[in-house]
Homo-oligomer: A and B are copies of this chain.
């Protein structure tokens, strides 16, 4: 049995790679560009090439490598079949087979949000838990459900798509998914800006938020400065997020929610505004869920990828 593992996180513009030992210690981290031309057909070869170069540099043979774990941006079934990855140009495709053939080592692929959740459970904000939901409050709202220590892929690779839980009947704007009233339309970075701008438009009240461009960061900074209007926006934000996570808890009853993504950089204050609403709307049996901040940032994907292949082969 080998001693080293590669973790790969395929994004729309760059591929992050990491070389780890089997205990999850990072030996090296680097990035290569994602070549999306020609329907993304070069991506696997580029990754294989980059891994082979690294192996040569480090004096590693195939026998030293336990395997390669990988996260990709799209729905992935439990057997590693990617159903579609629009950002990469991929249709239905099993990257496990292609990359494994190129490298001669086992490969295991999962959805990037689910894989990142696994990373947070293993080495981040969810350490010590086995039933966990990771929530990424970024440009969109992503989710990764982990039960009994394993990712919930869903029958069609759409497990953990919690950003698209319907919350609001009276929504005129369309979500990226074409529905109206999804959690993501309120709880993402763009969502909170939308809530703030709507509030600013219907009142002439003074607010720090009128002094510059409104962003997720400027809103939470204003909340911390006790700006009244910003605090009202945070309250609305907290109610939408709390209501959405309550629905998640009613289905899978996790021990902990791990909150990450750009919006969560504001820190614990995001949880403080959300948690009372979570407790208001959740079934009492799930009300004792804990909330923690994610710890791994952009590295959650490569950590989770390593855990994914370790769980598979060891």
Contacts and interface: CB of A to CB of B under 8 A. Distances in A.
Interface string A258-287: 000000000000000000000011111110
A159 B166 CA distance: 20
Interface in A107-160: 131, 143, 145, 147-148, 152-160
A250 B178 contact: no
Interface in A181-227: 182
A68 interface: no
B252 A145 contact: yes
A298 B298 CA distance: 50
A161 B247 contact: no
A285 B156 CA distance: 7
Contacts of A288: 156
Nearest to A143: B251
B255 A158 contact: no
A131 to B, nearest CB: 4
Contacts of A285: 75, 83, 154, 156-158, 161
Copies held by the complex? 2
21 contacts: A75-B285, A78-B148, A152-B253, A154-B285, A155-B253, A156-B253, A157-B253, A158-B253, A158-B286, A159-B251, A159-B253, A164-B282, A164-B283, A166-B246, A166-B247, A177-B283, A178-B284, A179-B281, A179-B283, A182-B283, A248-B251
A16 interface: no
A162 interface: yes
A145 B284 contact: no
Interface in A57-112: 75, 78, 83
B158 A131 contact: no
Nearest to A166: B281
Most buried by B among A249, A250, A280: A250
A301 interface: no
Contacts of A78: 148
B154 A131 contact: yes
A155 B131 contact: yes
A307 interface: no
A7 interface: no
A98 to B, nearest CB: 23
A282 to B, nearest CB: 8
Contact of A152 (B83, B147, B255): B147
Contacts of A154: 131, 252-254, 285-286
